[in-house]
Structure 1
């Protein structure tokens, strides 16, 4: 029986492979897709702040798709670089921060203390993932 990681990878490939084939014929660079992901995430945050949660959720999903596509395109076109990997991780954290900040701005005027604490905890957790991975790799 395949592992959850294998199933997730297979599903991601089924989604991204046809799109990567199309994107590889364009002049778009993987790093461009990374910046598009950030722009979409900022749009999602704005939608959330203004109360358009469905639109915000859809934009979060679309930004996630772009996050999958940038790396897949880089690998497919043999344009993978260390800079691209660092840029991708950095933009991922900024995208998450934008979305979490959008949620915070929405809840703060409502004095929804529990929601604010949970969102802040999620933001910290999101940053800790990268820190722990980098620290573990540094320690060997």
Structure 2
């Protein structure tokens, strides 16, 4: 089916996701301009983090209009998340430290934004950290926006850890062999019924951005937490199967 599409669509939208493909196009002119300056990719990563902090501040204000402004800065931060990598490639400044520094700030940016969203949808910032605002009951448990936000972040951290381990497997063993095994696992699991973008930063960004705009954060954070948790469980199955296949005594801890 993908063969019927233009090569750019195949190589970008299908491979990366729609939002990442669009952001890549938007980031390229910025990257070309910044590449002519003395700015470094790591400095751009800090700019990306600063934009996320600004977004979180707007999210924390108890006003839907400010939340929309926060969503704009969040989207802008995602564009700069691509700019640092593009500038690094243009200037030939790719480093292992830069790669992990970018991943660290990416995770911190998400945490800051989620905290901002939780603050914006609570009554007060400090009291909400101590008391429980009753939004709904699920299986007899009082649920509030902070609990939902923490649930999402725990699921995200779990998924990030497993993703890092997958990169380790790809570097240690033949990457094509690892990818082939992953496809077999996905083919025989429920994951094949979930859109490809549902477990990427592309989809995660779109859901957070969209949920703020339409003012349905609680339901969408629960949805994201479920998707992240499910994908992590699938990755655990994948790691177990590939470790068993390679028979190298890999430490799965």
**TM-score bucket of the superposed structures, by smaller chain:** 0.7 to 0.9
Distance verdict in 2 for CA 1:105–1:10, change over 3 Å: closer
Deviation at 1:32, TM superposition (A): 0.5
Measured in 2, the distance between the counterparts of 1:116 and 1:71 equals 33
Deviations 1:20-54 (A, max 9, x none): 21111111111001001111111111111113101
Compared with structure 1, are the counterparts of its residues 116 and 70 closer, same or farther at alpha carbon in structure 2 (3 Å cutoff)? same
Partner of 1:61: 75
CA-based RMSD of the aligned residues comes to 2.1
2:154 to 120, 124, 127: 124
Q: Which runs of 5+ in 2 are unaligned?
A: 3-9, 125-132, 136-142, 173-253
Stretch of structure 1 that moved more, 98-107 or 9-18:
9-18
Tell me if 1:48 matches 2:59: yes
Question: 2: distance between equivalents of 1:50 and 1:129?
Answer: 29
Distance, in Å, in 1 between the alignment partners of 2:87 and 2:147 is 37
Give, in angstroms, the shift of residue 79 of structure 1: 0.3
Q: CA deviation at 1:114?
A: 4.9
Shift of 1:130: 2.1
Q: Does 1:135 align with 2:149?
A: no
Where does residue 114 of structure 2 map in the other structure? 100
Native 8 Å contact 2:23 2:79 kept in 1: no
- For the residue of structure 2 that corresponds to 1:80, the secondary structure is coil
Q: Which has the larger helix fraction?
A: 1
**In the alignment, does 2:63 pair up with 1:33?**
no
3-state SS of 1:46 partner = helix
What is the alpha-carbon distance in structure 1 between the residues aligned to residue 168 and residue 113 of structure 2?
29
Q: Is residue 5 of structure 1 aligned with residue 4 of structure 2?
A: no
**Would you say the 8 A contact 1:96–1:126 is kept in 2?**
no
Equivalent residue number for residue 33 of structure 2 = 22
Larger Cα Rg: Structure 1 or Structure 2? 2
